[in-house]
Amino acid sequence: MAYIEARLIVPTAPNISDQQRKEYPGRLHELERNLAYAFGGYTTTEGSGAWDDGKSNVLREPVYEPVRMYLIAYNSEDAEAVIAINSLRSFVKARLGQQAVYLSRTVIEEKPIQ
């Protein structure tokens, strides 16, 4: 039996329209409810990130924004958890309006919570 540690990073205050900005906290809360339900819980870390918007060819300055990293652990043999993690990236893109989503997975040696 293998356990997987997944890391999901999403912006907490993205560069979006005023209407989307009003809805964003509720959508983050929806994501967090879904993570807790699908995986039994998660841990968050606040941080900052940057990305290149590709809009200028001369002296491009990265776009900086606050981010939240979600750390999730699950059993790789849990079919429901595997389905949930596989659909997570598309869910975040659709619900949070993101063009790109960072999601990594690492095999861990032993059961993470005992």
pLDDT, tens digit, for every residue of 64-96?
889 999 999 999 999 999 999 999 999 999 988
* Residue 14 confidence (pLDDT): 74
Distances (CA, A) of 84 to 14, 99, 108: 24, 20, 19
Please measure the distance between the N-terminal and C-terminal CA atoms of the chain and give it in whole angstroms: 15
Full set of structural domains in the chain with CATH: 3-108 (3.30.70.120)
Report the Cα 57 to chain-centroid distance in Å.
29
User: Within the chain, which residues score under 70 in pLDDT?
Assistant: 56-59, 114
CA angle, residues 49, 55, 61, in degrees to nearest 5:
45
* Residue 107 confidence (pLDDT): 94
CA-CA-CA-CA torsion for 97, 19, 64, 47, nearest 10 degrees?
A: -80
Burial state string for 26-55 with b = 16 or more CB within 10 A and e = fewer than 16: ebbeebeeebeebbeebeeeeeebeeeeee
φ/ψ bin of 59: left (φ > 0), alpha (ψ from -120 to 50), beta (otherwise): left
* Residue 102 confidence (pLDDT): 93
